[in-house]
Amino acid sequence: MTLEIISFVVFALLAIASALLVITAKHPVVSAMSMIFHFFMLAGLYLTLSAQFIAVMQVMVYAGAIMVLVVFAIMLLNLGDEGKLRSGFNFRKLVAWFLGGALAVQIAVLLSNGALSNTAISEKASELGTAQVIGGELFTNYIYPIEIVGILLFAAIVGAIYMAKKNLPTEE
């Protein structure tokens, strides 16, 4: 057993356990916290795949920004008792079970075919996953797209400020 496999097993088991906790926990804040934990474990999995940059992004964007939003929503809606929100059997649940089941069958078929048995991380992956390479690509081959993204975010911020501004100069 190499270190790679050990770390993969640890991260994977913890990720599954925390994911189960997300959907079974009674209190929404516990769910949210275990979701943060789940995101950290996923970041660890990315690290074992030599994707350092995505691992860091995972922590920053999901565990940082998006979870803050989720926790804020829980706080503002004041969801103390989840029991009230529990609904019985509905169509949405049926679809969810169906899609989840389809995915499970798909994975089982792939495993039994042996399609996933012969997977190794390519040598190139560890070179491509670094922030250095991604930054280099972004500022050479993708210089136009990255600049346009800048303008897009700029426009969005201007719009958000305009829409949220308190006093519009309408009444003179």
Contact 128, 135 (CB under 8 A): no
The gap between the terminal CA atoms of the chain, to the nearest Å, is 76
Contact 45, 58 (CB under 8 A): no
Report how far residue 66's alpha carbon sits from residue 74's, in angstroms, rounded to the nearest whole number. 13
Q: Does 142 bind another protein (CB under 8 A)?
A: yes
Three-state SS at 167: coil
Residue 156, CA atoms < 13 Å, CB-side half-sphere: 6
148-167 mask for another protein (x: CB under 8 A)?
xx-xx-xxx-xx--xx----
Q: Give the footprint of another protein on residues 74-113 (CB under 8 A).
A: none
Q: Which is nearer to another protein, 23 or 163 (CB)?
A: 163
Q: Does 54 bind another protein (CB under 8 A)?
A: no
Q: How far is the CB of 122 from another protein (least distance, A)?
A: 16
Q: Which is nearer to another protein, 133 or 152 (CB)?
A: 152
Total residues at the site for another protein (CB under 8 A)? 22
Q: Does 136 bind another protein (CB under 8 A)?
A: no
Report how far residue 73's alpha carbon sits from residue 95's, in angstroms, rounded to the nearest whole number. 26
Report how far residue 71's alpha carbon sits from residue 77's, in angstroms, rounded to the nearest whole number. 10
Residue in 4, 82, 127, 147 binding another protein, rule: CB under 8 A: 147
Q: Which is nearer to another protein, 131 or 155 (CB)?
A: 155
Report how far residue 130's alpha carbon sits from residue 172's, in angstroms, rounded to the nearest whole number. 56
Q: Which is nearer to another protein, 54 or 71 (CB)?
A: 54
Closest Cα to residue 25, out of 13, 12, 34? 34
Q: How far is the CB of 167 from another protein (least distance, A)?
A: 11
Residues forming the site for another protein (CB under 8 A) = 140-145, 147-149, 151-152, 154-156, 158-159, 162-163, 168-170, 172
